[in-house]
Amino acid sequence: MSALFQTFLEEARQLVDKKLPEYVRELEAEHRLKEAMLYSLEAGGKRVRPVLLLAVLEAYNQPILHGLDTACAIEMVHTYSLVHDDLPAMDDDDLRRGQPTNHKVFGEATAILAGDALLTQSFALIANADAPLSAKTKVSIIAALSKAAGASGMVGGQLADMFAEGKQLTVEQLANVHKRKTGELLAFSIEAGALIAGVSNEERSKLNEFGQEIGLLFQIKDDILDVEGDSIAIGKPVGSDAVNNKSTYPGLLGLDGAKTMLHTHYDRALQVLDELHLRGTLLEDLAKYIVTRDH
Amino acid sequence: MSALFQTFLEEARQLVDKKLPEYVRELEAEHRLKEAMLYSLEAGGKRVRPVLLLAVLEAYNQPILHGLDTACAIEMVHTYSLVHDDLPAMDDDDLRRGQPTNHKVFGEATAILAGDALLTQSFALIANADAPLSAKTKVSIIAALSKAAGASGMVGGQLADMFAEGKQLTVEQLANVHKRKTGELLAFSIEAGALIAGVSNEERSKLNEFGQEIGLLFQIKDDILDVEGDSIAIGKPVGSDAVNNKSTYPGLLGLDGAKTMLHTHYDRALQVLDELHLRGTLLEDLAKYIVTRDH
């Protein structure tokens, strides 16, 4: 990891880590509800989505503070999805990143409501953003976020993923489920950065392609880590996908096949950056980071 | 009910009933998820919130079609809240308006996701509204909706309501819980109408006061209907609040005391309309309708 990228990553994470809980603390709401929201927001996420958005601004020489509200909004949406996905009626997970899941600590009812509140609050963050975003930009961001996070994106992807358990999917079907479950929100992080940076339509469309590749890379790498990662680093038992009968890239293609696919899409991501004249920027470092991370 | 109001009510409901499912049908998403969303959207609600919004436009001689997207968005938010509130971990209700609740038909996981998708979609409706709403108006509507529906409004109110079960509340505490659980979204319906109609800040603040009174009237009347309503008309057993150990206005004030409170706030609502020079408009009919309805 280059020193510059390391510094950016730390700075961006610190900004998000500091700002994110403030949006919750300032709410006039039950202590219990706020605690449940904060518990999952502060559970040590890697902040990949906010970092992606801020990296787009940095790559286009825009102040990253202009994207901080929106970056935090994305992290809230991501966090709400984890809280709901972990519920007994859904994936029924007791641990997340090595810690008890939200409903294990606060009970199911509060976990459902904390998720609802995080999702609702994310739209407030964008609407009330005091960065110099025009109303038009805010509306575009909200339209794109609700699409990426809703029935045709993340929520639908979670449903498809749940009902696919125990079924043998093709690689195309698996890619489609993941595109919606995790890819769309990752791609939206890039898109939001593009909207805030005010890039041309042509660049936005290319950046969107880069975002789609990043989403795919993220998932293939996650599946590979589930096979050969360190259980402490990844915060869950190695091999849990196989135990849960989940279709994965290594399961369908073999470990070597999944790694080949990872590198094919990594090359494609770099090629898109080339076309955008953004090779050598933080976006390249980020793509590399996603592909080489150990958790 | 005046013939004019009757006609308006029917027309407004028909517009909403026709438009609401279209936003779901056009989504590229799992059939099962869309069916679950449609099931609760089409479960025969009274469309009170959309009607309130459209009545504000009518009272200010604005085309009601300008508010249709936002009106449908509010109904989606209301519907998602019912789906989540009915869940086993929350109020654990098997019936809603005399029909099996969403999770009874589709299972808990799908019900949770259908609720999440409805909430997310509501923001898409406003952001993508093709009525001649400016981006600035859309942002104001989204900011107000996320406040009314979030931790400091509806979601927090539901948590407070759940944890108040079995406890003896004061009238003030009860009013505060209901203000958040149901009042804020009803008041938002009026506020959204004011934002779309583009009324002055002074009028908006008065309309907001009217909205708060409407929210209160709605809840007091609901509690009264639970004691003396017709179980078929209200779609649940009469007396279920008492069985569930819920604090209610009749429980705290007696039935006569609750009726006196209803009429005091009805008078106050009419006084606010007087100050707005909106006596004799549909808003007066609506207030009267809320107070005299039998379900």
Query: pLDDT tens digits, residue range B185-216?
Result: 999 999 999 999 999 999 999 999 999 999 99
Closest CA to A65 of A18, A3, A121, A135: A18
pLDDT, tens digit, for every residue of A125-166? 999 998 789 999 999 999 999 999 999 999 999 999 998 888
- Residue B268 touches partner A, C-beta closer than 8 Å: no
What gap in Å lies between CA B150 and CA B181, rounded to an integer? 10
Residue B66 DSSP one-character state? G
A-B interface: how many C-beta pairs under 8 angstroms? 159
What gap in Å lies between CA B286 and CA B295, rounded to an integer? 14
Between A84, A89, A143, which is nearest B128 by CB? A143
Structure tokens at A263: 């590198």
What gap in Å lies between CA A139 and CA A289, rounded to an integer? 31
Percentage of chain A modeled with pLDDT above 70: 97
Q: Best interface-test mutation with B: which of A31, A85, A112 has the largest number of B CBs within 10 A?
A: A112
Binary contact (B123, A115; C-beta < 8 A): no
- Residue B138 touches partner A, C-beta closer than 8 Å: yes
Closest CA to A241 of A150, A153, A148, A178: A178
pLDDT at B246 over 90: no
Taking CB atoms and an 8 Å cutoff, what residues of chain B touch A121? Answer: 146, 150-151
Closest CA to A145 of B129, B13, B16, B128: B128
ipTM of the complex: 0.96
| Beta strand pairing call for A95-96 and B95-96 | unpaired
Q: Quick one: closest CA in A to B128, which residue? A: A143
Per the CB < 8 A criterion, the answer to whether B186 and B49 are in contact is yes
Per the CB < 8 A criterion, the answer to whether B235 and B295 are in contact is yes
Q: Quick one: closest CA in B to A28, which residue? A: B152
The arithmetic mean of pLDDT across residues A2-21, rounded, is 95
What gap in Å lies between CA B183 and CA B153, rounded to an integer? 9
The arithmetic mean of pLDDT across residues A179-194, rounded, is 96
In Å, how far is A274's CA from the nearest CA of chain B?
Answer: 32
pLDDT, tens digit, for every residue of A34-85? 999 999 999 988 999 999 999 999 999 999 999 999 999 999 999 999 999 9
Q: Quick one: closest CA in A to B162, which residue? A: A109
Instruction: Please tell me the predicted confidence (pLDDT) of residue A235.
Output: 66
Between A138, A143, A151, which is nearest B29 by CB? A151
pLDDT, tens digit, for every residue of A265-290? 999 999 999 999 999 999 999 999 99
Q: Sorting pLDDT into bands at 50, 70 and 90, what band is B229?
A: confident
**Helices marked H in A128-228:** 135-149, 154-164, 171-178, 184-197, 201-228
Structure tokens at B220: 């007091």
Distance of CA A272 to the CA centre of its chain: 20
The kind and range of the H/E element at B201 are helix B201-228
Q: Quick one: closest CA in B to A35, which residue? A: B151
pLDDT, tens digit, for every residue of B90-147? 999 999 988 999 999 999 999 999 999 999 999 999 999 987 899 999 999 999 999 9
Percentage of chain B modeled with pLDDT above 90: 85
- Residue A87 touches partner B, C-beta closer than 8 Å: yes
Instruction: Please tell me the predicted confidence (pLDDT) of residue B42.
Output: 96
Judged by CB atoms within 8 Å, which residues 188-217 of A form the interface with B? Answer: none
pLDDT, tens digit, for every residue of A98-122? 899 999 999 999 999 999 999 999 9
Between A24, A121, A160, which is nearest B30 by CB? A160
Instruction: Please tell me the predicted confidence (pLDDT) of residue A234.
Output: 63
Contacts 24+ apart (CB under 8 A), A173-179: A173/A247, A174/A247, A174/A248, A174/A249, A174/A252, A175/A216, A178/A215, A178/A216, A178/A219, A179/A212, A179/A215, A179/A216
SS3 B89: coil
Q: Best interface-test mutation with B: which of A77, A85, A87, A120 has the largest number of B CBs within 10 A?
A: A120
Instruction: Please tell me the predicted confidence (pLDDT) of residue B236.
Output: 67
Quote the mean pLDDT of chain A: 94
Per the CB < 8 A criterion, the answer to whether A224 and A258 are in contact is yes
Quote the mean pLDDT of chain B: 94
In Å, how far is B34's CA from the nearest CA of chain A?
Answer: 8
pLDDT, tens digit, for every residue of B254-292? 999 999 999 999 999 999 999 999 999 999 999 999 999
pLDDT at B155 over 90: yes
Q: Report, at the CATH architecture level, how domain B3-292 is classified.
A: Orthogonal Bundle (1.10)
In Å, how far is A33's CA from the nearest CA of chain B?
Answer: 7
Look-up of token digits 């009330």: A128
